[in-house]
């Protein structure tokens, strides 16, 4: 099964981080967040990816072209020019990097990939959000309900602390719990080929057009994920994710198949 990753956005809210590179290439722990997203799927055996490129897509292409060489030890015979690469094996992924246009909307990007997604259902997510969602259980949920589309519903992390007052005195300060927020689309979707019937050209927005229409037709289901999920929309989000990495407690590092903690 193939996994589509939407990686064409501008990422303007990340400021200088996305002046010279697209948002999926912003690094956490020395690796682009795109790599972290892909690693999550690979942990569940999904290792073929179709990456929908847009803004500065050449940066993503260059990174993957150089990845094997830069991950290896290299011996160069200066007399003959022979090069020998040694070292740890790279990930056994197959990655298709497809230019889907600079200003094409999310649904339009998916539609442009139609010829590469023949043969059945596929996964799709965004190139800027990580989670410990159990993809194996997600796929089983989708298989069971038999509808065209499944999205992973998450509760966004709270951005502000909660205050309890005693007059003007703060009696209690607590981080606002994640469960206090409503459910939102967290990506990590699964689609049947019939989803292409809901896509009508480059201006189609996957979320506002296709998903809304699927919901009206009773063809959109939600897989509720109660555990970790975090997007990288702002510099604050980036610092949060980097802090997790530096602490060694990386909540989006997925368990082996069937060991996720989503309900």
pLDDT tens for 72-112 read: 778 888 988 888 877 767 788 999 999 999 899 999 999 99
For tokens 């993809």, name the residue: 135
Q: Check residue 114 and report its DSSP letter.
A: G
CATH number given to 2-247:
3.90.550.10
Domain ranges of the chain: 2-247
pLDDT value, residue 16: 65
pTM beyond cutoff 0.75: yes
Q: Return d(Cα 40, Cα 104) in angstroms, integer.
A: 26
pLDDT band at 70 (very low <50, low <70, confident <90, very high): confident
238 vs 87, more confident = 238
pLDDT value, residue 18: 63
Range 141-151 average pLDDT: 94
pLDDT value, residue 179: 47
58 vs 16, more confident = 58
pLDDT value, residue 71: 76
Q: Return d(Cα 93, Cα 190) in angstroms, integer.
A: 20
pLDDT at 255 over 60: no
Q: Return d(Cα 215, Cα 228) in angstroms, integer.
A: 25
pLDDT at 138 over 50: yes
* Distance linking the first and last C-alpha atoms of the chain: 23
Cβ atoms of 140 and 18 within 8 Å: the answer is no
Q: Return d(Cα 231, Cα 91) in angstroms, integer.
A: 24
Range 225-241 average pLDDT: 90
Range 158-183 average pLDDT: 54
180 vs 107, more confident = 107
Task: Name the token pair of 34.
Answer: 């795109």
Task: Name the token pair of 152.
Answer: 């992973």
Task: Name the token pair of 182.
Answer: 């409503």
pLDDT at 256 over 50: no
pLDDT band at 155 (very low <50, low <70, confident <90, very high): confident
Q: Express as a percent the part of the chain with pLDDT over 90.
A: 60
pLDDT at 241 over 50: yes
Task: Name the token pair of 172.
Answer: 């209690």
pLDDT value, residue 261: 36
Q: What angle do CA 30, 261, 259 make, to 5 degrees?
A: 80
pLDDT at 33 over 90: yes
């Amino acid at each position: 099964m193939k996994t589509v990753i939407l990686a064409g956005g501008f990422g303007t809210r990340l400021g200088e981080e996305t002046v010279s590179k697209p948002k999926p290439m912003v690094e956490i722990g020395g690796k682009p967040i795109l790599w972290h997203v892909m690693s999550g799927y690979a942990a569940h055996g999904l290792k073929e990816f179709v990456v929908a490129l847009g803004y500065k897509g050449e940066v993503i292409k260059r990174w993957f072209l150089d990845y094997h060489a830069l991950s290896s030890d290299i011996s160069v015979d200066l007399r003959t020019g022979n090069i020998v690469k040694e070292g740890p094996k790279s990930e056994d992924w197959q990655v298709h990097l497809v230019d889907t246009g600079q200003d094409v909307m999310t649904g339009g990007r998916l539609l442009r990939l139609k010829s590469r997604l023949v043969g059945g259902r596929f996964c799709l997510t965004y190139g800027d959000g990580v989670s410990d969602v159990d993809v194996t259980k997600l796929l089983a949920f989708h298989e069971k309900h038999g509808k065209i589309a499944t999205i992973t519903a998450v509760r966004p992390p709270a951005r502000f602390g909660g205050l309890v007052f005693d007059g003007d005195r703060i009696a209690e300060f607590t981080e606002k719990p994640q469960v206090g927020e409503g459910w939102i689309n967290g990506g990590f979707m699964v689609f049947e080929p019939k989803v292409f019937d809901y896509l009508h050209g480059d201006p189609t927005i996957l979320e506002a057009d296709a998903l809304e229409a699927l919901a009206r037709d009773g063809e959109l289901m939600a897989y509720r994920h109660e555990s970790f999920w975090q997007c990288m929309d702002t510099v604050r989000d980036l610092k949060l994710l980097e802090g997790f990495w530096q602490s060694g407690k990386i909540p989006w590092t997925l368990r082996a198949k069937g060991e996720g903690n989503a309900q």
